[in-house]
Structure 1
Amino acid sequence: MASLLADAAISQKIASEPWPEDVCLYQPYKLQQVLLPDNAQCLAVQCYLQMCGLPFRTVLRTNAEHMSPSGKPPFLRAGPYVISEVEPIIKFVSTKGHSLSDKLDKPQQAEMKAYLALVQGTLGNAELYISWCDPTTASEISRPRYSSPYPWPLNTVLAYRKQWDVQNQLKALGWCSKSLEEVYDEVDNCCKALSQRLGNHHYFFKQGPTELDALVFGHLYTILTTPLTDNCLADIVKEYGNLINFCRHIEKKFFEERERGPKE
């Protein structure tokens, strides 16, 4: 009971404070270091904050993963608060009074949460699998990029430890025993479900963009634009024209137009 009261008091305190002016989103360097799974998460958070219309600054750090409270990028520093990973960041933003899903009714919110779990549980795990369980991708891309900020022999030790940790995580989820073809089938089924839910609309719900749109964009756009040892993963997404159009629309509206700023 005391813990619940303390949590409620903290939430009330956070809600009463305005959005800080110096909010920073920390993530690894995109060109030299970041890998497919982390880039998808970072882009999803960027997109979500853009959709909420909240000001923030992206800060690149080679040790962003080790700076993160959970050991996973990205993480948000907002005044005295430091929050890492997509779901906790979304909850923090919602506590501050900025929510994209409060316009949905309860059945729609339940449906959105189911799709969020599908995307994270399928696309997120598939990205981890391809990055760290596929021998070719791990040796040619993941280990070299992950270890790039560190001197030898620390770089080698950290890269193999990361690979071991991810493989254990996927083993616990039942993904490590899958073949690459089975992983591609999982991705295809996920894309098919998303494509059917989206239809010919700009967003997954007619009320406007939600957390689901930000998360799906983060994953799909990253898959489409990240060089890998082959194009199989991106080719799956390209089979769904409405998902491609969805990514183009989100990129234009929440990134290109925001960067250009308002017309004078």
Structure 2
Amino acid sequence: MMRSPNERLQGPAAEPWPENAALYQQLKEDQILLSDNASSLAVQAFLQMCNLPVRVVCRANAEYMSPSGKVPFIHVGNQVVSELGPIVQFVKAKGHSLSDGLDEVQKAEMKAYMELVNNMLLTAELYLQWCDDVTVEEITHPRYGSPYPWPLNRILAYQKQWEIRRKMKAIGWAGKSLEQVLEDVDQCCQALSQRLGTQPYFFNKQPTELDALVFGHLFTILTTQLTTDELSEKVKNYGNLTAFCRRIEQQYFEGHDKDNSGTAAPRSAKRSLLR
């Protein structure tokens, strides 16, 4: 009998994946911010591509439940693992991999592009959330502190803002203008667009963790309501990237409900990309 592409990727040594595997993130409607939503969606996409079902659990204190203080994290059996990189390694140790078919040069290239996404897109999302005054006042503070009573909601938001702004200073982003940050996003999208070209995925016909990471960030940018559309417009300038997001949404999320896959189609404050 023919095996599916995902089954072929997993190989004969793959361990059974528990049915009660769960992914934890903040509250979807009222609390989660752009960067955390993007990171969570990247992990969901990766697990979907591996054909590993996971139930998404939303908790107001998910950030404080995480062993690294970052979301998302997965609870599989008696183990808890947070963030995409460690989750990829954890899943690989269980015999499930998306990138085993790549040669060493391709693997190095894939890692370089993943670093680009994390250094540019993720950092730009954090900058926008915590360093752009209009976004901070209208979106970030109200959402981040929403589960908590006053004055705790403000105290926690200011603590997080201080933490992120200190990080921005350490990496040389504190003095950047919003226009410079948007230009960095555009350069990152240009590099991704050139690498993708007319292929369905970044490495030909099969997805890798790079595809999951790029989808998580670009889809979230395209579908999240911010104070302006400047960030999403940078992505929309690249038709192959928006088509890439639609394709992954359609293939790995549309039609998957919580009864058969554990991961529902991604939702956002705006809309699905599907028309």
Tell me the TM-score normalised to structure 2 length: 0.87
SS in 1 for 2:240: helix
- Which residue number corresponds to residue 150 of structure 1? 148
Among residues 28, 49, 52, which one is paired with 1:51 in the alignment? 49
Match of 1:33, SS state, is: coil
CA-CA distance at 1:139 after TM superposition: 0.7
C-alpha displacement of 1:55: 1.5
| Coordinate RMSD, CA, aligned | 1.5
Query: Take 1:189 and 1:17, find their aligned partners in 2: how far apart are those partners?
Result: 40
SS in 1 for 2:127: helix
User: Could you tell me which amino acid in structure 2 is paired with residue 226 of structure 1?
Assistant: T
Amino acid at match of 2:245: C
The alignment of Structure 1 onto Structure 2 pairs a total of residues equal to: 248
CA offsets per residue over residues 173-206 of structure 1, 9 Å max, x none?
A: 1111211111001000000000000001110001
C-alpha distance in structure 2 between counterparts of 1:164 and 1:46, whole Å: 29
Q: Cα distance, 1:137 vs. partner? A: 0.2
How many Å separate the matches in 2 of 1:261 and 1:77? 19
CA contact (8 A) 2:45 2:212 kept: yes
TM-score, normalization by structure 1: 0.91
The letter of the residue matching 2:29 is L
8 Å Cα contact 1:43/1:218 also seen in 2: yes
**Residue of 86, 89, 92 corresponding to 2:90:** 92
**8 Å contact from structure 2 (residues 14, 96) kept in 1:** no
Which has the larger displacement, 42-51 or 83-92?
Answer: 83-92
Q: Following superposition of structure 1 onto structure 2, how do residues 20-99 of structure 1 map, counting pairs within 5 Å? A: 20-99=18-97
Residues 103, 207 of structure 1: 8 Å contact kept: no
Gap regions ≥5 residues in structure 1 = 1-14
Per the TM alignment, residue 257 of structure 1 is displaced from its structure 2 partner at its CA by: 3.7
**How far did residue 20 of structure 1 move?**
2.1
Aligned to 2:74, the other structure's residue is in SS state strand
Distance 2:197 2:28 in 1: 32
Q: Distance in 2 between matches of 1:80 and 1:231?
A: 42
Task: Give 1:21 deviation, angstroms.
Answer: 2.2
Aligned to 2:184: 186
Moved over 4 A (4+): none
Partner of 1:11: none
Instruction: State the Cα deviation string for residues 218-239 of structure 1 (Å, max 9, x = none).
Output: 0000000111000000000000
Q: Which runs of 5+ in 2 are unaligned?
A: 1-12, 262-275
The aligned amino acid for 2:119 is G
Residue pairs, 1:237-256, within 5 angstroms = 237-256=235-254
Residue 199 of structure 2 contacts residue 205 of structure 2 at CA under 8 Å; is this kept in 1?
no
How far is the alpha carbon of 1:17 from its aligned partner?
5.4
Q: Going by fraction, where is helix more abundant, 1 or 2?
A: 1
Aligned-pair CA distance for 1:261: 6.4
Match of 1:164 in 2: 162
Q: Give identity over the alignment, percent.
A: 60
Q: Does structure 1 residue 134 correspond to structure 2 residue 132?
A: yes
Are the equivalent residues in 2 in contact too, given 1:25–1:57 (CA < 8 A)? yes
Distance 1:250 1:242 in 2: 12
